Amino acid sequence: MTKRLFIVDLVLGVVKIRFNHCLGLLNVKKDKCVFLRKNPGMEEKIAAFRRLLEIMDELRDKCPWDQKQTLESIRYLTIEETYELSDAILDKDMEGIRKELGDLMLHLVFYSKIASESNAFDILDVLNTIISKLIHRHPHIFGDVKVTDAKNVRDNWEKIKLKEKGNESVLSGVPASLPAVIKAYRIQEKASGVGFDWENKEQVWEKVKEELHELHEVAHDNADHNKMEDELGDLLFSIINYARFLDVNPEDALERTNKKFIKRFQYVEENAKKLHKPLKDMSLEELDVFWNNAKKLE
């Protein structure tokens, strides 16, 4: 790689990053350096990353399967790996997290390698882009902006991002293909970042109760399907907003409940099999006994 937007020097155990370009973007004066704290084992980590890049070069050059891949062909695999990482995190499986992070790291290197072959960008461009973004969007660390808490940091991030994008909507950064629960959460976070928000969680809870009442009314009146769908959507959106005020990620909360239900239901299935009785032939009272036993085992 001949292109270098920055030079990483290990001097006296301190990582010093000099930026030769992009200085205007970062608002860093020439010859000024960003100093990061000493990181033990940095040389070993850099060597491991270099080895991964070398292996990727070898695979792309010699392996028929790797040669065949495109940005599009590995996209679905990346989505699958991301969900596997998510499962490992929810299960608190540290070994699984380590393995899935490795798989995703491979994908990042793979995408960069493919792009470099058409001179679109390479791994250096990818790293420099995120370095520039992190420095620019953390003025409380790399500048003189003062913050008091994590909310200040998040709000500043959204404001800086909006300024970078010019006149685009603050919501334009929310991917259209996000699952609905995550999308609603991110929409609310971004709106809050520019001051469009409730003052406290009690107000949000009142909104939840209002939306629940409206859903109950249309359901009781046997309104058309579209109307009930609208009201249910409003209720879910307000519940997700309440979760945000509780500092609870609704996607994680719902997935934990999914896993809990699956575990309990499978316990019921196993015990029904021992009695040689199909679930559909068992009474609710019998099923409740197994269900409550499953709860006690948690």
Which runs of E-coded beta strand occur in 156-279?
A: none
CA-based nearest residue to 268, from 248, 285, 293, 244: 293
Residues 6 or more apart in contact with residue 293 via CB below 8 angstroms: 267, 271
Confidence label for 11 from pLDDT (cuts 50, 70 and 90) = very low
pLDDT at residue 164 in the model: 83
Over 90: is that where the pLDDT of 119 sits?
yes
> How does 199-227 read in b/e, with b if 16+ C-beta sit within 10 Å?
eeeeebbebbeebbebbeebeeeeeeeee
**Domain residue limits, the chain:** 40-136, 198-248, 252-296
Number of Cβ within 10 Å of residue 289's Cβ equals 14
Average pLDDT value for residue range 148-160: 88
pLDDT surpasses 70 at 32: no
Q: How many CA atoms are closer than 13 Å to the CA of 298, on its beta-carbon side?
A: 15
How many whole angstroms separate alpha carbon 280 and alpha carbon 104? 43
Would you state the structure tokens that stand for residue 226, as one six-digit string? 């579209």
For residues 128 and 5, is the Cβ–Cβ distance under 8 A? Answer: yes
Identify the bridge partners of residue 6 per DSSP, sorted by sequence position.
19
Which range (110-114, 165-169, 225-229, 291-295) has the least confidence?
A: 165-169
Convert the pLDDT of each residue in 40-86 to its tens digit: 789 999 999 999 999 999 999 999 999 999 999 999 999 999 999 99
CATH of domain 40-136: 1.10.287.1080
Per-residue pLDDT, 2: 40
Is residue 34 pLDDT above 80, yes or no? no
Average pLDDT of every residue of the chain: 87
Q: Check whether 15 has a pLDDT greater than 50.
A: no
Hey, what are 129's tokens?
């882009």
Look at residue 17 in the predicted model and tell me its pLDDT. Answer: 39
Per the CB < 8 A criterion, the answer to whether 165 and 56 are in contact is no
Report the distance separating Cα 174 and Cα 143, nearest Å: 27
What mean pLDDT do residues 142-155 have? 90
**What are 19-28's pLDDT values in tens digits?**
333 333 444 4
Do residues 253 and 243 touch, judged by C-beta distance below 8 A?
yes
Quick one: tokens of 40?
A: 């033990």
Question: What pLDDT is recorded for position 166?
Answer: 75
